[in-house]
Amino acid sequence: MASGGARAWIVLAAVLLAAAPAAASPAVNVIPAPLSVSPAPDPAPVAIAEGETIFTPRGDAGARRTAEQFATLVLRTRGLNLKVAAGDPPTGAGPAIVLLRRPGLPPEGYVLDVAAGQARIAATGDAGLYYGAVTLWQLLTADGGRGPATLAPVRIEDRPQFAWRGLMVDSARHFQTTAQIEQLIDWMSLHKLNVLHWHLVDDQGWRLQIRKYPRLTEVGAWRIPPPGSPDAVRGRKGPVPYGGFYTQDQVREVVAHAAARHVSIVPEIEMPGHAVSALLAYPRLGAGAPPPREAQSQWGGFPYIYSGNEESVAFLEDVLTEVMALFPGRYIHVGGDEVAHERWNGTPDAQARLRALGQTDPAALQADLTRRIAGFLEAHGRRLVGWDEILGGALPADATVMSWHGIDGAVAAAAKGHDTVLAPAPWLYFDNGQSNDPHDPLGRGVMITLRDVYGFNPLPATLPPEAAGHLLGLQGNVWTEHIRTFDQFQAMAFPRAAAVAEVAWSAPERRDWTDFMRRLPAQFGRYAALGLKANPAALNVVIDASPDAAGASVSLTAQSAVGEIRYTTDGAEPTPAARRYDGAFTAALPARVRAAAFLDGSRLGPVAEAQLDAASIRRRGSHQLRLCNQKLTLNLEGPRGPAGETRTYMVNPQDACWLYPAADLTGVSRLTVAFARLPFNFGFDAGHNSVILHPPRGPAGELEVRQDNCLSDPIAVASLPAGPVGGRASLSLPLPARNGRHDLCFTFTSRGFDPVLALDWVQLAPPGTADATPEHGR
């Protein structure tokens, strides 16, 4: 996430306006890219200074609201006080901003003319005026400066490609305050994102007040985190429950806040699965035995589902009645994913219903529930949305399918005549990481970079042209099992949400990765002005070094893959005139390597720095190693240290095995490994086919080191010291003499998964030293 130092380069790098892909188009630094950019007939620039006036049509409440929102935004990010007045600007008056209505434009479309001393935004609908104002704000803030601004003359005609341009926030796993949700809505609207999918219910928490069923929040909104977990807090009377919920009054305030920014909220109430939090509150509604309390504090999949009998259907309809009273939008999301249908096999009511339907497969009961709930919503003027599992069975014609199993669900739904929204894993799942930086926020270890998101194709070749009209749009999903704080949330969502915005808004011919990267530094400048802690991984350079005969072999990489990398080895600031990186180079030790990415002579991101010596080039953290088993990769947070500090660990909690590829063992006689014991709170089936246990020799387990493959006999073994969950330790062990480069495999042996044995770092002792470097921070 962007630190104070990182923000400095953001503002510096934003001084150049970006060129649009078409050479004939004027340069505009706007995200998402507008549909059409052309020269204005009047070549004179337009100056906007302190005290300028925004004029709106008389009696036009929507235009005045947009003008006031724009003025507030400009004051915050540019430092200019602008006035708002009704009517036309006086003849011969100085520069002004004018909002006006023009019939015939699309509801979200607008035309922006910067010419003849004025910036004029024309639109038919309120949303169009708002988005035109957002574009004008981006033009005013493209240089990252404060005070008066000068705008180049330009004409922009714009409208979105898709109607559904969304972001999903998971408030069930980790809770965000209403102020944070409203802040997120603000940021979304400034990207022209218009749908907030609010995941309010899941196994780990029920977040919405339902007056008819108060135990949903009294019981279901609170859980006890497992000891040693980052959420665990112990008070004087024992563990402090984690949770929270939104009152109905708070929800109304959030909905009104969103509506004023043209964001529609789609609430999600999961059914028939992901129901642990509800069934803890009302066990009689479930199929079979009720869930244990500890299930609510675990991550993973659980078999606990609603019974599907008349009482549970009446309960769900009661809940949805209150939901519809709070959320006026057209769509209500009912989940429908990951349902353990076999749970109904032992439930008499479910079996009776199955016989009445003339079916034998319990999956038919989910289709029956979906049909009934869809009819209930339709009777109240609403439309059901569900994850792509709802396609199994006779789905009501007006049901909308949200595809998360890749794009196949969307293709199948559209082919059957259903509207669909693309939200596929892994491309649009923002709980996946963005880099191997150990300071990045927590989440899954699969890397989905900004470029991956930008390259997502929302119009797959497998979608027939006649079905394309059913594709409403797309959204990014931010699941929060491991994203505990709102700062972490921001860094996981942004700037990838900006890529979603451009893919969803901009016409395909207007999208260009290199051009997007040119515009991104200015967007980071806006983020800094707004207090948005976005992750700059896409703009960073990564320095990697390993031993060679003359010192260190150094390689530099940049995710952006645009422009060039410039570097120094003496600690000097890299500039466009510094040495260009053309491939791995040798640096004599010690060396202070500094590097940055440049595009068109302008620095894209912060300066990366590495202090290299004989020890550092032989050290690898868990994020630099490779997991032997990548079926489940997680970037987990360890408990807080004495000073409140935390460390992160790349692990597969089902297989404690890591690889150090191509380790130079020449002259190395000893290594040190640091590790931690993390709490295990995952709801995995013990018989899962990716679970691998390494049997221990002794009671506390061992560290085993193997050469070249993980099935050979160990070349070194050390017993693990005893320690508590949440504790950290290190151990040093001798290595037999080896020459050349070899893969090293590190495994922890144990009789179970609790605690999770997480490797922190490996240090090979430099040749000629008696021992490895002791533990220290990254």
The alpha carbons of the chain give a radius of gyration, in whole angstroms, of 28
pLDDT of residue 250 exceeding 90: yes
* Partners of 672 in beta bridges: 732, 763
Element (H, E) at 333: strand 331-333
pLDDT in tens, 445-460: 889 999 999 999 998 7
* Mean pLDDT (whole number) for 13-28: 46
DSSP 8-state symbol, 571: S
Short-list 636, 639, 647, CA closest to 725: 639
Structure tokens that stand for 347 in this block:
């439930």
Structure tokens that stand for 677 in this block:
């014991």
* Mean pLDDT (whole number) for 742-763: 93
Which of the residue ranges 427-441, 655-669, 671-685 would you say has the lowest mean pLDDT?
671-685
Write the DSSP assignment of 681-748 as a string of letters. Answer: -B---TT-TT------SSSS-EEEEEESSTTSPPSEEEEPPP--TT-EEEEEEE---B-SEEEEEEEE
**Strand ranges (DSSP E) for 407-550?**
420-425, 432-433, 443-447, 471-478, 541-548
| CA 395/CA 411 separation, integer angstroms | 15
At residue 775, the pLDDT reads: 43
DSSP 8-state symbol, 772: P
| CA 578/CA 558 separation, integer angstroms | 17
CB atoms within 10 A of CB 138: 20
Query: In a 3-state reduction of DSSP, which class is residue 764?
Result: strand
**Contact by Cβ (8 Å): 130, 189:** yes
15 pLDDT tier (thresholds 50, 70, 90)? very low
Residue 187's φ and ψ, nearest 5 degrees, are: -65, -40
Give per-residue burial for 115-129: e unless 16+ CB within 10 Å, then b: bebbbbbbbbbbbbb
CA-to-CA dists, residue 684 to 21, 648, 677, 751, angstroms: 49, 22, 18, 16
On the 0-12 / 13-18 / 19+ scale of CB atoms within 10 A, 646 is exposed
Q: Is the peptide bond before 426 cis (omega within 30 degrees of 0)?
A: yes
On the 0-12 / 13-18 / 19+ scale of CB atoms within 10 A, 372 is middle
pLDDT in tens, 473-531: 999 999 999 999 999 999 999 999 999 999 999 999 999 999 999 999 999 999 999 99
pLDDT in tens, 323-382: 999 999 999 999 999 999 999 998 999 999 999 999 999 999 999 999 999 999 999 999
| CA 376/CA 390 separation, integer angstroms | 16
Residue 130's φ and ψ, nearest 5 degrees, are: -60, -45
Query: In a 3-state reduction of DSSP, which class is residue 476?
Result: strand
Q: List domains and CATH numbers for the chain.
A: 4-158 (3.30.379.10), 164-505 (3.20.20.80), 540-611 (2.60.40), 618-764 (2.60.120.260)
461 pLDDT tier (thresholds 50, 70, 90)? confident
Short-list 420, 517, 400, CA closest to 460: 420
At residue 770, the pLDDT reads: 60
**Contact by Cβ (8 Å): 759, 671:** no
Model pTM?
0.93
Catalytic center residues = 202, 274, 338
pLDDT in tens, 552-561: 999 999 999 9
Strand bridging mode 264-268 / 195-199: parallel
pLDDT of residue 646 exceeding 90: no
- Mean pLDDT rounded to a whole number for the chain: 91
Query: In a 3-state reduction of DSSP, which class is residue 463?
Result: coil
| CA 367/CA 599 separation, integer angstroms | 53
Maximum distance among all Cα pairs of the chain, rounded to whole angstroms: 90
DSSP 8-state symbol, 689: T
**Contact by Cβ (8 Å): 233, 240:** yes
> Can you tell me which residue has the tokens 């890219």?
33
